[in-house]
Amino acid sequence: MEAPDIRGQWNANAAAWTEMSRAGFDRYRDLVNTPGFFALLPAVDGLTCLDLGCGEGHNTRLLAGRGARVIAVDIAESFIAAAAGIPHQGIRYLVGDGALLPFRAASFDAVTAFMSLMDVADPERTLREVARVLRPGGFVQFSVLHPIMSAPVGHWSRTRPGRARRAPSASTSTRARSPRPGPSARRRPSSVTGTSRSRSPTRAGPSPGGWTPC
């Protein structure tokens, strides 16, 4: 199977995404994910942070607003151009792939990835790169789509010869059929955020990260 052109797809979406989110339509980000992420985030004042998959830079700017020096990386140059169009003290933007970070080992005190790791082509390699560029004792915090909302339980069904249509996934069809979801459906998390510390040679192992549905 041919690998999808992730960079091309994000580049094609960047202008619309930037316009809509800056106009306030990314309500889930603004009302749920971002407040949840920052509520969990350890203090970053004075830290050197990598923001991986920064998109148009909304959360990068909030991170820098907390006093971090931020280097923000995204694979899509259209997003980097949009982000860099809002100059902000303490932020440098770079086009780059999280699976091949152009930084020396142990360069960062912290790495953040706001809703981006589920989109990278090679998550394992990207996480190995994150571990490499983190200093011992530094931390990574990321949010991703919750599998309950994104698990590929949908399937393709053929409607007419030569045409295919994606059948709705179990979770979306449940929601669509129920105009007034019950309490358990309303509590269903749609993303998860977690923090984890890099192993320190001077201390015994990483401290356990807290995982919070938000």
Ligand X SMILES: C[S@@+](CC[C@H](N)C(=O)[O-])C[C@H]1O[C@@H](n2cnc3c(N)ncnc32)[C@H](O)[C@@H]1O
Residues interacting with ligand X, by CB under 6 A?
Answer: 6, 10, 52-55, 58-59, 73-76, 79, 97-99, 114-116, 119-121
Q: How many CB atoms lie within 10 A of CB 131?
A: 15
Q: How far apart are CA 52 and CA 138, in angstroms?
A: 15
> Which one, 36 or 53, has the nearer CB to ligand X?
53
Could you tell me the smallest distance in angstroms from the CB atom of residue 112 to ligand X? 8
Which residue's C-beta sits nearest to ligand X?
A: 55
Least spacing, CB of residue 180 vs ligand X, in Å = 30
Roughly what angle, to the nearest 10 degrees, separates helices 6-22 and 77-84? 30
Q: How far is the CB of 131 from ligand X (least distance, A)?
A: 16
Quote the least distance from Cβ 130 to ligand X, whole Å: 11
Asked whether the beta carbons of 89 and 110 are under 8 A apart, the reply is: no
Q: Quick one: which of 109, 135, 119, 114 has its CA closest to 45?
A: 109
14 versus 47: smaller Cβ distance to ligand X:
14
> Quick one: 47 or 111, whose CB is closer to ligand X?
111
Distance of CA 137 to CAs 125, 129, 160, Å? Answer: 20, 16, 57
Write down the least CB distance from residue 210 to ligand X, Å: 20
In terms of CB distance, is 120 or 133 closer to ligand X?
A: 120
> Which is nearer to ligand X, 59 or 193 (by Cβ)?
59
Nearer to ligand X, 131 or 137 (CB): 131
Cα–Cα distance between 190 and 145 in angstroms, integer?
A: 6
In angstroms, what is the minimal distance from the CB of 194 to ligand X?
Answer: 16
Say if residues 72 and 57 touch (Cβ distance below 8 Å).
yes
Q: Name the burial class of residue 70, with classes exposed (0-12), middle (13-18) and buried (19+) by CB atoms within 10 angstroms of its CB.
A: buried
DSSP tag of 182 = -
